Structure formats: C-alpha cells, structure tokens
Structure 1
Amino acid sequence: MQAIAARLLAIETEREQVDARELERTNACLSRFFQENCTRGARRDAALARQKLLQEEVKLRRTEREERVREQDLRIAEKQRERAEEAAAAVKAAQTEEARQRAERVEAARAAAQTAAHTPSGAAKPAHAAHSRPRNPPLSAQPDTAQRAANRAAAEQRQADARAHQAEIKLREEKRRQRQAADAAKKAAEAAAQPPQAGSSPPKP
C-alpha cells in the first residue's frame, strides 16, 4: 500500500510539474504575443504618422510652388502698375506740352492782332504777317488722344492694383492653411512616437 501511495504521489507531483511548465510556457507565449502586438501597433502608428508627414510635405511643396507663382503674378502686376504710372506721366507731360504750345499760339495771334491794329491801312504788311498763322491745326480739330490714353492708363493701373490685392489675399490664406496643416502633422507624429505607459497592463486574451 505504501508503494502504491508513493507511486500515486509521484504521478501527482509529476503531473503538477507538467501543468506548471505548461502554464509557464503559456504565460510566456501570451506575454510575447502581447509585446509583439503592442510593438506592431506602435510600428503601424509610426508608419501612419510618417505617411501623413509625407503627405503634408507634398502639400507643403505644392503650396510653396503656388506661392512662387503668386509672387510672380505680384511682380507682373507691379510692373504693369509701373508701366501704367509711366504712361500716365507721359500723358500728363504731353498735355502740359500741348497747353504750352496753345499758349504760345494764342500769344502769337494776340501779338499779330496788335501789330495789325497799329499798322496804317495803306502800309505794307510786315514780312512775318504771312507766317503769323500757326502751322499746326487748332486742338479742337484734333482727336482727344491724350485724354483717351490717360483714361486707358488709369484703367490699367486700377486693374493691376486689384490683381495685386487679390494675390496678396490668397497668399496670406494659403500660408495660414499651411501653418495649420504643419502643426497638426507635428502633433500627430509626436503622439505616435510616444512609448506606451509603463503601468499599463496588456489586454486580456
């Protein structure tokens, strides 16, 4: 009886040892599985964060390219405005020159009239009387090209100012969206790069 009892005790002890080893292996497998799962999840989150960063970088490059195009448009609008100002200055100078010539012709006509009034009726006319008439026709008979040019120059300048203003508004709005997208991508990358907390327990199977 003692031998049978010893044999049963040995069998029971061996069974308990086998169960303990199986339990230890199971716990090790579960622990390794949870660790790999957490690592895989962290890797997946990091990959998603990197992908999002790449997308934001592509958007940023496209925004910079559009910004360069807008800056070029601004420079073109500035050149057009400068040309319009130069045209307006040229028109003003032409109008000033026409006014000066008109004054000279009026003064010449007045001098000729005064000379004719003081000349006796039978006396010979002075030699310059035949040339007292202005060579150019009166300005009233000429088309008002200077005024039309001035109006055209003013209209071009207004259009250039409007285009420059719209380009500046779009540029500021695009820069604001760009900063917001960069901040959001940075926060997402920082959140994904943070390791899991030490006190957190792995999920139960």
Structure 2
Amino acid sequence: MIKKLKIILTNYLILFFMACSSKPPISVEEARKMETEIIYAIPKDVLKASINVLQDMYYSIEEVDNEMGILVATKETQSQQGEIRKEQNINSDESLFQKIVVGFFLFTIITGFFILVEKISNSDINDNENHHYHPEKSIDRKEQYNGTEFYRYRVTINVSSLNIEDTNLRVSVVGQKIIGGEVSNVGPIQDRSFFNNFFNKLNNELGY
C-alpha cells in the first residue's frame, strides 16, 4: 500500500513539473511560416506525393479530399517524432508561481499522510515480510504494464494552387503522449526539424 502510494505521488510530481516546464506554443504567424512551403507542382501531384511520403514514414492515411486539397494521416509509435508544445488555457490567469505554491502545498499534505500511514502499518508490514507470497510483486508487474509510453500523431495537409505550376502546402501536426493508457501531454508539434525533414522527402518524391 505504502509503495503504491509513493509511486502515485512520484508520478504526480513528475507530471506536475513537466506541465510547469512545458514550452508554450509559438505564435500563429511563426507556426504558419514553419508549416508552409511552396512546392513546384500542381496540388493533385503534391497530395499524391504526400501520401507516398507519409506511408514511408509509417502513417496511416485516414482521409483524402482532392477537391478541397485536404489529406489526413495518423500514426502511433513508441518514438517521439517531434516536441509537443502544450497549449495554454486562455481562460486561466494562474501564474507559474501559483502552480508551484499549490504543488508544494499538495506535496506537503500527501507526504504527511504517507508518514502517518507508514507509522500505523509498520507492524503489519514486518509481519508480511515473513510470508512467501508478496502482493507487491504482482502490483509491480501491473504498474510496469500500465506505464507503457507511446505517442499518437495526426497530420493534416492542406494544399492550394498559387498559379499554374506552383502549390502552397501547409502541414499541421498534433501529438499526444500516452502513459499507461492516459494522455499525459497533448498539443501541436512545432519542431522545425520535423517539417524540414518532411519537405525534403516530399521534394525528393517529386524529383527535385
């Protein structure tokens, strides 16, 4: 029991400080500039090439609308594809200092509770150590399974014709970090290297 509570507290503190330290999204203007590229091909060819590139990157194509110039693809993987920026709550004026104070207050209360419970159950714990069966071992296996970490990504591609030969391409990506079946972080991917890598692969696919 004590061990399980300590693990819960540790996970809570890790998630709390990760939330406090998460980088906020960049401005809409910066994001659009990062996500947008002019491609020297017609929209239909850009969409087709994008499908091939995404499939090579192990994405599953969910939707293609040639008329609207929209392509949607998803992927689940255990490797992080790009930094997930946490979206800020526009209705919240809570400062980082306030978050730290609240976190410290909760930490103090929970720690005090652990100490109290541990003192009360010391004799029971000592008795249990003499038994051959230890329930903590099965808990550990369950916790190890529940702690599985993976990422889920959703890519949306929007193409529009600039002129007869050129296409304006915008790629937006939303990522989720999943730990033990629970979403621990979600937000836009605003990693320049991710987009540069995609654009380079797309140009290679188109023969440029």
Q: TM-score, normalised by structure 1?
A: 0.24
Structure with the greater alpha carbon radius of gyration: 1
Q: Which has the higher contact order (CA 8 A, sep 6+)?
A: 1
Q: Which has the higher helix share?
A: 1
Q: Which has the higher strand share?
A: 2
Q: TM-score, normalised by structure 2?
A: 0.24
